[in-house]
């Protein structure tokens, strides 16, 4: 291999180029990213950065400089096409980059709602520029409405409250984070937010966004109107794969990869929020994981597989955290709302606990609310394919 191109210059893209060099690849290495910024970290965008507690320069992900990595960069440049026969990536600048190895790390972008899109006080949150614009608007706002009580929506709501903005969260599902969280944990989280003054409403349906040019109020199906100065849409993301359409690469809810994160063509890999792959720990269930830690771990594996010519499977249990007010929530594995649940270590009343999830007799997931040490143990147990009973007995506090 003489040249490797990495498309997407964020967490996954930067960590993979670092690992590619660490693996000893000395050929031409190019990182292409459509944002104008050098790679920066996203988690603080809904937390400290949004609240104005840290400056943008503290978000940099760059550890070794581009020069130290002998890295060619094309920041502010979008990949617009892939020619697999010629093994070439087409850029919007007109330049084309030939590659022997290609890593796709183009992540995902927020979904929008037609009725609200394009209005002046409507925001999504994915990029540094999104966070700057939202932060500025919140500093002048009295009332915010957040649509979607997923993890990002709830983090934004907590930050809004901390900034002194009255905040309502509107969610269609009966409990927050319903796709990820068992209803009992969702109820706990809802009470936690209510107790801190967030007006969190689940099971509601939005009828219309009122106002010309700006959204003045959200009208619910019940007829109620909720006025807002700022509206934040947090209803999930779509993987960035449009530039690959028609290339012949298999796409299915992202870039379709095998267990080793290799895409449907030799020498082409995907990782991070854009990669869909069958996870060996969960009976080969195909998944796309939108977590920081998982992206970093995938970057390490992809660099190894690409440079060494190996095909090792990605076997790490998905792991994420979310900070909401004073609470650190962590999740590991692949729990689903229908799983058997056991609270070990702590209790809802205490406000700190570890919940284990079992399916078919196996430990498949855990959520820690203020329980980082025990969550690490749960992760190890999931990766060892421990039985539910065994894990309950060994992790019990
Ligand atoms: C506000 C926010 C808070 C978060 N908080 C947490 C948290 O607390 N815990 C946690 O575990 N995870 C969190 N995450 C998720 C975590 O940040 C992501 O999992 C991680 O950023 C994924 O990295 P990635 O490199 O795969 O994709 P991304 O970070 O999305 O980067 C992809 C990059 O590729 C660029 N790109 C897209 N298309 C093209 C193209 N055609 N050509 C060139 N460049 C392109 C994009 O603009 C972007 O810069 C958070 C995410 C957000 C947005």
Based on the fold, state whether residues 119 and 208 are members of the same structural domain.
yes
Mean pLDDT of 248-263: 98
User: How far apart are the CA of 146 and the centre of ligand 1, in A?
Assistant: 20
Within a domain: 321: no
**DSSP-based three-state secondary structure for 59:** helix
| Residues near 373 by beta carbon (within 8 Å), at least 6 away in sequence | none
| Residues near 232 by beta carbon (within 8 Å), at least 6 away in sequence | 122, 123, 124, 125, 134, 144, 145, 146, 147, 153, 156
List the Cα angle 185/189/191 in 5-degree steps.
115
Using most ligand atoms within 8 A of CB, pick from 44, 106, 367 the residue to mutate for ligand 1. 106
Based on the fold, state whether residues 126 and 192 are members of the same structural domain.
yes
116 has a pLDDT exceeding 80: yes
Within a domain: 316: no
Based on the fold, state whether residues 100 and 126 are members of the same structural domain.
no
Place of tokens 């270590």: 345
User: How far apart are the CA of 178 and the centre of ligand 1, in A?
Assistant: 22
| Number of helical (H) and strand (E) elements in the chain, helices listed first | 7, 26
pLDDT digits (tens, 9 = 90+) for 26-85: 999 999 999 999 999 999 999 999 999 999 999 999 999 999 999 999 999 999 999 999
pLDDT digits (tens, 9 = 90+) for 192-222: 999 999 999 999 999 999 999 999 999 999 9
Mean pLDDT of 241-251: 98
From 197, 214, 233, give the residue that closes a domain: 233
Using most ligand atoms within 8 A of CB, pick from 7, 8, 298, 375 the residue to mutate for ligand 1. 8
The predicted pLDDT at position 397 comes to: 62
Mean pLDDT of 227-241: 98
Based on the fold, state whether residues 247 and 289 are members of the same structural domain.
yes
Based on the fold, state whether residues 211 and 354 are members of the same structural domain.
no
User: How many whole angstroms separate alpha carbon 195 and alpha carbon 112?
Assistant: 29
pTM greater than the 0.95 cutoff: yes
Within a domain: 287: yes
The predicted pLDDT at position 337 comes to: 82
Using most ligand atoms within 8 A of CB, pick from 11, 257, 299 the residue to mutate for ligand 1. 11
User: How far apart are the CA of 42 and the centre of ligand 1, in A?
Assistant: 7
The predicted pLDDT at position 396 comes to: 80
Give me the DSSP letters along 262-274. B-SSTTEEE-GGG
Query: DSSP strand E in 54-213: where?
Result: 71-75, 79-83, 88-91, 96-98, 101-104, 108-110, 122-123, 143-147, 166-170, 199-201, 206-210
168 has a pLDDT exceeding 70: yes
Based on the fold, state whether residues 185 and 123 are members of the same structural domain.
yes
Based on the fold, state whether residues 103 and 41 are members of the same structural domain.
yes
Within a domain: 159: yes
Q: Which of 128, 126, 124, 104 shows the shortest CA–CA distance to 40?
A: 128
User: How far apart are the CA of 287 and the centre of ligand 1, in A?
Assistant: 17
4 has a pLDDT exceeding 70: yes
273 HSE (CA, 13 A, CB side):
23
Within a domain: 165: yes
Q: Whose CA is nearest to atom 2 of ligand 1?
A: 43
List the Cα angle 287/117/156 in 5-degree steps.
60
The tokens of 148 are what? 């979607």
Q: Whose CA is nearest to atom 14 of ligand 1?
A: 43
Q: What is the sign of the dihedral through the CA atoms of 242, 248, 252 and 256?
A: negative
Q: Is the CB of 159 under 6 A from ligand 1?
A: no
User: How far apart are the CA of 359 and the centre of ligand 1, in A?
Assistant: 30
Based on the fold, state whether residues 175 and 215 are members of the same structural domain.
yes
Residue 276's Cα: distance from chain center in Å? 13
Based on the fold, state whether residues 21 and 98 are members of the same structural domain.
yes
Within a domain: 320: no
Within a domain: 368: yes
The predicted pLDDT at position 338 comes to: 86
Q: Is the CB of 322 under 6 A from ligand 1?
A: yes
User: How many whole angstroms separate alpha carbon 339 and alpha carbon 321?
Assistant: 20
The CATH number for 10's domain is: 3.50.50.60
Q: Is the CB of 152 under 6 A from ligand 1?
A: yes
Q: Whose CA is nearest to atom 38 of ligand 1?
A: 106
- Residue 331 host element (H or E): strand 327-333
The predicted pLDDT at position 240 comes to: 98
Q: How many CB atoms lie within 10 A of CB 156?
A: 29
User: How far apart are the CA of 66 and the centre of ligand 1, in A?
Assistant: 20
Instruction: Provide the domain count of the chain.
Output: 3
Mean pLDDT of 263-275: 98
User: How far apart are the CA of 144 and the centre of ligand 1, in A?
Assistant: 24
Q: Is the CB of 75 under 6 A from ligand 1?
A: no
Residue 82's Cα: distance from chain center in Å? 25
DSSP state of 318: P
User: How many whole angstroms separate alpha carbon 320 and alpha carbon 295?
Assistant: 10
DSSP state of 387: B
Based on the fold, state whether residues 205 and 144 are members of the same structural domain.
yes
Share of the chain above pLDDT 90, in %: 97
pLDDT digits (tens, 9 = 90+) for 330-369: 999 999 888 999 999 999 999 999 999 999 999 999 999 9
Based on the fold, state whether residues 292 and 247 are members of the same structural domain.
yes
Based on the fold, state whether residues 137 and 228 are members of the same structural domain.
yes
Contact 312, 354 (CB under 8 A): no
User: How many whole angstroms separate alpha carbon 4 and alpha carbon 280?
Assistant: 27
The CATH number for 349's domain is: 3.30.390.30
| Average pLDDT of the chain to the nearest whole number | 97
Within a domain: 200: yes
Domain assignment of residue 357, given as a range = 326-395
Using most ligand atoms within 8 A of CB, pick from 290, 367, 375 the residue to mutate for ligand 1. 290
Q: Which of 290, 319, 331, 262 shows the shortest CA–CA distance to 109?
A: 290
Q: Is the CB of 35 under 6 A from ligand 1?
A: yes
Q: Is the CB of 123 under 6 A from ligand 1?
A: no
**DSSP-based three-state secondary structure for 136:** helix
Q: Whose CA is nearest to atom 4 of ligand 1?
A: 43
């Amino acid at each position: 291999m003489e040249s490797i191109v990495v498309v997407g210059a964020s967490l996954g893209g930067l960590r993979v180029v670092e690992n590619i060099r660490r693996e000893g690849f000395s050929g031409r290495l190019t990182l292409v990213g459509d944002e104008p910024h050098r790679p920066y970290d996203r988690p603080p965008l809904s937390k400290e950065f949004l609240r104005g507690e840290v400056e943008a320069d503290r978000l940099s992900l760059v550890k070794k400089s581009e020069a130290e990595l002998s890295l060619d960069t094309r920041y502010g440049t979008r990949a617009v096409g892939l020619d697999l026969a010629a093994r070439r990536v087409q850029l919007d600048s007109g330049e084309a980059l030939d590659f022997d190895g290609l890593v796709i790390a183009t992540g995902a972008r927020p979904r929008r709602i037609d009725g609200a899109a394009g209005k002046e006080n409507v925001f999504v949150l994915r990029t540094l520029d999104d966070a700057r614009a939202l932060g500025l608007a919140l500093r002048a706002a009295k009332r915010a409405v957040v649509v979607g009580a997923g993890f990002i929506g709830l983090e934004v709501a907590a930050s809004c409250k901390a900034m002194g903005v009255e905040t309502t969260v509107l969610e269609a599902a009966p409990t927050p984070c319903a796709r990820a969280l068992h209803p009992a944990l969702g109820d706990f989280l809802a009470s936690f937010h209510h107790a801190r003054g967030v007006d969190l409403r689940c099971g509601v349906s939005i009828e219309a966004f009122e106002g010309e040019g700006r959204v003045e109020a959200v009208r619910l199906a019940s007829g109620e109107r909720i006025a807002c100065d700022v509206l934040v849409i947090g209803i999930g993301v779509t993987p960035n794969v449009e530039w690959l359409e028609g290339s012949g690469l298999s796409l299915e809810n992202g870039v379709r990869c095998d267990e080793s994160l290799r895409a449907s063509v030799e020498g082409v890999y995907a990782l991070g929020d854009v990669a869909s792959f069958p996870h060996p720990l969960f009976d080969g269930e195909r998944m796309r994981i939108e977590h920081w830690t998982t992206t970093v771990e995938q970057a390490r594996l992809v660099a190894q597989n690409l440079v060494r010519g190996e095909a090792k499977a990605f076997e790490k249990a998905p792991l994420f955290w979310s900070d909401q007010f004073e609470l650190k929530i962590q999740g590991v594995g692949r729990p689903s709302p229908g799983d058997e649940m056991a609270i070990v270590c702590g209790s809802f009343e205490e406000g700190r606990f570890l919940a284990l999830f079992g399916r078919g007799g196996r430990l498949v997931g855990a959520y820690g609310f203020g329980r980082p040490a025990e969550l690490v143990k749960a992760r190890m147990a999931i990766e060892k394919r421990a039985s539910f009973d065994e894990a309950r007995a060994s992790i019990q506090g």
